[in-house]
Amino acid sequence: MSEAATLTRKADFPGLLTADGQPWHYLDTAASAQKPQAVIDAMSRALGKDYATVHRGVYSRSAQMTLGYESARRRVAEFMGARSENEIVFVRGATEAINLVAASWGMANIGEGDRIVLSTLEHHSNIVPWQMVAERTGAQIDVCPLTEDHRIDLGALEALLTPRTRLVSLAHVSNVLGSVLDAREAADLAHSVGAKIILDGCQAAPRMALDMAALDCDFYAFSGHKTYGPTGIGVLWAREDILDAMPPWQGGGAMIDRVTFEKTTYAPPPQRFEAGTPMITEAIALHAAIDYVDALGPDRLFAHESALAKQLRDELRSMNSVTLFGPEESAGIVSFALEGVHPHDLGTILDEENVAIRAGHHCAQPLMDHLGVSATARASFGLYSDESDIAALLRGIERTQRIFG
């Protein structure tokens, strides 16, 4: 048995069984990961016998919950290689993180005639917030094309950059293609013209070692639910000096220093960006998820999922009716099209075989236009995936071909 195969721990994930106890072949981890029992237990304890609000109570359980909540922030900082927990802002997800940067830093630093650089493969959450900034400020959006094997073309990125470029916002790993960005090179290019760079790390955080100092980016965002944690929580990392200079985004409790009707002063980061009662139980469960992932080792996770993606690509390539998208080396994500079969039809038939894939545009319609399709089928692997999931998918595809043949 290979080292990659030994990573699979299906028994830790109660969601990987059907209602009648049969194996459920979950190949939609890029959309949202299944949760290990350790995370479920942490969430249950936090919602139950440990529950109290944080930061405000003087009673002992509130103090303990506050310690747990802030411990989660320190754990995330360690996980990301941040210099300080003060660089970690808890948000509802990566979408909110990017919107926060756009509404706060973007509106304060981007003006008429300035340039914002995105790429062809971006998720809508890394397109629409910047379009909103451009519409309000008069800035312009430049789109970096892809290489022939569907990676962000860093040579083209360099050519796009000008002294008016204020921001570069790119996916660290594509949610459709699994292509991995050379993030440090992209950061160096952005900084060469004085621009800031934000990385969408939703697909990278669950399967790659993160080191903010090594990446040298300015902002980094990821979602908890894709990192084997709960929904409703995500992380925005930013350099402390940048956060210090950013104005608040939302107003309310917890983000203030003092409020009078004449004037309000604000708390320092990260509290300045966490208005209202925070996602207490979600942060504690995210802590448990990060512990689980880190114990297995991000480098081993990447190798495991990439090996499965390569195996699936090799199997699909042998089928004449299948078109593959993305590079040969994929971070655990394989997008494909089956000739004469809409991805939604394929997904429906696979569901009857207890196989779950994603079918659609994957919130990346500009990329679909570039690929010349309206949708793709996407199989995405997690740390619990193994060869049995590939075998079940292939059986389902063969059945689909017989039905549509």
Domain containing residue 244: CATH number: 3.40.640.10
pLDDT at res. 8: 62
What are 241's strand-pairing partners? none
386-398: average pLDDT: 97
At 2, the pLDDT band (50, 70, 90 cuts) reads: very low
Q: What b/e string do you get for 370-379 counting C-beta neighbours within 10 Å, with b at 16 or more?
A: bbeeebbbbb
Q: What is the mean pLDDT of residues 11-19?
A: 94
The DSSP symbol for 127 reads T
Q: Residues 16-27: what's their mean pLDDT?
A: 94
Residue 189's contacts (CB-CB under 8 Å, 6 or more residues apart) are 154, 157, 158, 161, 168
Query: Would you say residue 36 lies in a domain?
Result: no
Q: What is the CATH number of the domain that holds 398?
A: 3.90.1150.10
Confidence of residue 5 (pLDDT cuts 50, 70, 90): very low
Domain count, the chain: 2
User: Is 122 in the same domain as 184?
Assistant: yes
Residue pLDDT, tens place only, 356-380 = 999 999 999 999 999 999 999 999 9
* pTM confidence score: 0.96
Residues 236-258 have a mean pLDDT of 95
In a domain, 138, yes or no: yes
* Ramachandran bin of 21, using left for φ above 0, alpha for ψ from -120 to 50, beta for the remaining angles: left
Please check whether residues 362 and 221 belong to one and the same domain. no
Give me the residues paired with residue 346 across strands.
none
Whether residue 169 sits in one domain with residue 316: no
- pLDDT for the residue numbered 56: 76
By DSSP bridging, strand 256-259 and strand 264-266 are antiparallel
Measure the CA dihedral 263/267/272/278, to 10°: -110
Is residue 228 located within the same domain as residue 351? no
Residue 388 tokens, joined: 């049995």
Q: How many CB atoms lie within 10 A of CB 87?
A: 23
List pLDDT tens digits, range 175-223.
Answer: 999 999 999 999 999 999 999 999 999 999 999 999 999 999 999 999 9
Domain of residue 203 covers 41-295
Considering 295, 317, 333, which residue would you say is the last residue of a domain?
Answer: 295
Is 15 found in the same domain as 153?
A: no
Residue 55 lies in a domain: yes
Lookup result for tokens 């979600």: 282
Percent of the chain past pLDDT 90, that is, above it, reads 95
Residues 6 or more apart whose CB falls under 8 angstroms from that of 17 comprise 23, 24
Residues 231 and 303 in one domain: no
- What are 286-310's pLDDT values in tens digits? 999 999 999 999 999 999 999 999 9
pLDDT digits (tens, 9 = 90+) for 94-129: 999 999 999 999 999 999 999 999 999 999 999 999
Cα gap 324→50, rounded to integer Å: 49
- Identify whether 217 is a catalytic site residue: no
pLDDT of 333 over the 60 cut = yes
DSSP 147-209: -TTSSB-HHHHHHH--TTEEEEEEESB-TTT-PBP-HHHHHHHHHHTT-EEEEE-TTTTTTS-
Q: What per-residue confidence (pLDDT) applies to 7?
A: 65
Sign of CA pseudo-dihedral 313, 4, 12, 81: negative
Tens of pLDDT, residues 228-240 = 999 999 999 999 9
The residue among 264, 295, 326 that closes a domain is 295
The rounded mean pLDDT for the chain is 95
Six-digit token string for 240: 């402390």
Within-domain flag for 9: yes
360 and 381 assigned to the same domain: yes
Question: CA 346 to CA 351: how far, in whole Å?
Answer: 9
Q: Look-up: residue for tokens 């979408």?
A: 95
pLDDT at 3: 44
- Domain boundary at 295, 329, 356, which? 295
